């Protein structure tokens, strides 16, 4: 089965899973203005509330790397398919959350997150880090490594969005980097390429 066929099957499975009403009392999955699907609050959620678990198949680091590349290829083939749903667990294992029952995989990144992921006894749980209003989107910091920032542009829409998905702990360093001539040159070149693609589509 080719990548396009696999991607189509995955979209069908995800669609069926979303139609099935979630039994989670705190959140539901809906279209997001940030990217694709998102997770939203069913009701007011107080700060420090555990709202969901990131579930999936436990896999080795080697298998994680293989699947990550495969999932990125699928995302390139079909924009309806999410990119990589693999979550770092510990030094030996990761979790592949690319399964229909894992609604946590739809939580989008924001530079102003309202939720954090915690590893508790090798299980990943999402807790609110501030009060969340009914119908507000659940947002987390993806925490991507600084050296790969060009691969992860950010469109979260937050007032202080840094423009790329960079871990909170690295954002001050990233801001200093942006002032360097070589980084400015790369970003300017990338912006030109992006505007050319948009004009071709139009």
pLDDT of residue 116: 95
> What is the overall mean pLDDT for the chain?
79
Average pLDDT over residues 169-173: 81
Three-state secondary structure string covering the chain:
CCHHHHHHHHHHHHHHHHHCCCCCCCEEEEECCCCCEEEEECCCECCCCEEEEECCEEEEHHHHHHHHHHHHHHHHHCCCCCCCCEEECCCCEEEECCCCCCHHHHCEECCCCCEEEEECCCCEEEEECCCECCCCECEECCCCCHHHHHHCECCCCCCCCCCECCCHHHHHHHHHHHCCHHHHHHHHHHHHHHHHHHHHHC
Average pLDDT over residues 96-104: 93
- Read off the pLDDT band of 186 (50, 70, 90): low
**pLDDT tens, residue by residue, 4-13:** 444 444 444 4
What pTM was computed for the model?
0.72
Any idea which of 8-22, 32-46, 132-146, 160-174 has the lowest mean pLDDT? Answer: 8-22
pLDDT of residue 57: 95
Domains of the chain as residue ranges with CATH: 3-145 (2.170.270.10)
Any idea which of 31-35, 70-74, 99-103 has the lowest mean pLDDT? Answer: 70-74
**pLDDT tens, residue by residue, 23-65:** 899 999 999 999 889 999 999 999 999 999 999 999 999 999 8
pLDDT of residue 191: 59
Any idea which of 70-79, 94-103, 156-165 has the lowest mean pLDDT? Answer: 70-79
pLDDT of residue 104: 96
């Amino acid at each position: 089965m080719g990548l396009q066929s696999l991607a189509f099957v995955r979209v069908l499975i995800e669609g069926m899973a979303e139609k099935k009403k979630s039994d989670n009392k705190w959140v539901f999955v809906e279209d997001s203005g940030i990217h694709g699907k998102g997770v939203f609050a069913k009701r007011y959620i107080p700060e420090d509330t555990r709202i969901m678990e990131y579930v999936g198949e436990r896999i080795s680091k080697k298998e994680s790397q293989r699947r990550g590349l495969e999932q990125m290829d699928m995302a390139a083939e079909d924009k309806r398919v999410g990119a990589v749903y693999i979550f770092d667990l510990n030094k030996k294992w990761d979790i592949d959350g690319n399964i229909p029952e894992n609604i946590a995989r739809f939580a989008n990144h924001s530079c102003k997150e309202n939720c954090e992921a915690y590893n508790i006894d090798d299980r990943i749980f999402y807790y609110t880090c501030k009060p969340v209003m009914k119908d507000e989107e659940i947002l987390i910091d993806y925490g991507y490594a600084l050296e790969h920032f060009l691969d992860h542009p950010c469109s979260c829409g937050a007032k202080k969005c840094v423009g790329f998905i960079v871990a909170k702990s690295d954002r001050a360093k990233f801001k200093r980097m942006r002032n360097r001539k070589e980084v400015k040159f790369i970003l300017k070149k990338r912006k030109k390429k992006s505007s050319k693609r948009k004009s071709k589509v139009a």
